[in-house]
Structure 1
Amino acid sequence: MGSDTVTSVREAMLARCSWSKVTDDAPTHDQLVALVAAAGRVADHAGLAPWRLIELRGGDRERLGAAFTEVLGHDGSADKPLRAPLLIAIVSSTTAHPKVPDWEQEAVAAGVGHALSLLLDEAGYGVIWRTGPFTRAEPVARLHGLGDNEKLLGWLYVGGKPDGAPVRRPVDAERCVTRLPD
């Protein structure tokens, strides 16, 4: 567990930040599974569990770099997946449902990703959620074994927290909370 003790969800949210640089420390598979069991408790209309996670370690990250190279036609991004010892691909897996549209199911998958990032942070790991054009590229989808009903929402890059926390940007909550127009 992390050295900082968080006593509330609010404190965890206020402490959350993205760690673009991390160390080689990472949770084990079993530690990750325990955190996923908690992250999977997000609100899920009809209990469809429209998500799955793909754990990438070691050579898997190199294979992802090769897929990035295939997309770009050069190796300029081949080392990007090597920036963290653990990458967790967040995949939405939608199911046709009369009351739960695809966008709502994708929101559940995103909620799991965010909850997992908070849990990883609490456990002492630095996390950043990386997205971009690679998430919709065919070679990357093929590498991840995505089905026709699946979309890659990005990767959590996970590693140890180096000394010194990243700058936390304040949220202008007053601007973000509005009322219905007259």
Structure 2
Amino acid sequence: MTAALEAVRTRRSWSKVTDAAPSNAELVDLISAAGRVADHSSLRPWRLIELRGKDRDVLGRAMNKAEGHDGVSSKPMRAPLLIAVVASYRKSSKIPRWEQEAVASGVAHVLSLLLDEAGWGVLWRTGSYTRSKAIAKAHGLGKDEELLGWLYVGGKPANARVGRRKPVDGGKYLSRMPSKK
């Protein structure tokens, strides 16, 4: 079995992490690798935003504002590093918007696998507020950008219960092209 196959098979989401986090340099290296996903016409229709420290307070205020509340949401404090995943759409007569969003999602997923394989706990979080004006403003999103969620990243707790996800039966999800009758 290859290392990549094993990494994918053992991947899990980590809802609780420690205060440790990868450095900016480690993150840049992993993003360079994740950016190699299939990308029709090499548009690179994505970008990532690193949130640490006080950035999480800004996000917490924006989350509460998006939900019509005052104060600061504690949700961004659940991990020491949040990576905002942004679909940054490019004008193209060949590449539709949905395909560009798929590329951005692919980068985020591959990055989450690479972070996990490097020993970090990762959870991709979304929410009803991801596409709100308050969240877009807090992240400095442009008119052709949308937030796809955040990767919450931190250390894997030593005492964490390592549950295994149910295996996926690939045969249930693979079929052949219907034959003509």
Please tell me the TM-score bracket, short chain as reference.
over 0.9
* 1:141 partner amino acid: A
Select which of 146, 150, 153 maps to 2:148: 153
Instruction: Give the CA deviation at 1:172.
Output: 2.7
Distance, in Å, in 1 between the alignment partners of 2:166 and 2:62 is 33
In the alignment, what sits opposite 1:41?
36
Map 1:73-88 to 2 at 5 A: 73-74=68-69, 78-88=73-83
User: Contact 2:47/2:88 (CA < 8 Å) preserved in 1?
Assistant: yes
In the alignment, what sits opposite 2:166?
169
Select which of 4, 15, 18 maps to 1:9: 4
Taking structure 2 as the reference length, the TM-score comes to 0.92
Kindly report the root-mean-square deviation, in angstroms, between the aligned alpha carbons of the 2 structures: 1.6
* 1:172 partner amino acid: D
How many residues in Structure 1 have an aligned counterpart in Structure 2? Answer: 177
Instruction: Give the CA deviation at 1:59.
Output: 0.6
Distance, in Å, in 1 between the alignment partners of 2:23 and 2:3 is 25
Distance, in Å, in 1 between the alignment partners of 2:20 and 2:70 is 26
Instruction: Give the CA deviation at 1:132.
Output: 1.7
**Which stretches in structure 1 are left out of the alignment for 5+ residues?**
1-5
Distance, in Å, in 2 between the alignment partners of 1:177 and 1:114 is 21
Taking structure 1 as the reference length, the TM-score comes to 0.92
Map 1:6-155 to 2 at 5 A: 7-74=2-69, 78-155=73-150
| 1:122-172 deviation line (CA, Å, top 9, x unaligned) | 110000000121111110000001111101010000000113324423213
Distance, in Å, in 2 between the alignment partners of 1:103 and 1:173 is 25
Task: Give the ranges of 4+ consecutive aligned residues of structure 1 lying more than 4 Å apart after TM superposition.
Answer: none
Instruction: Give the CA deviation at 1:9.
Output: 1.1
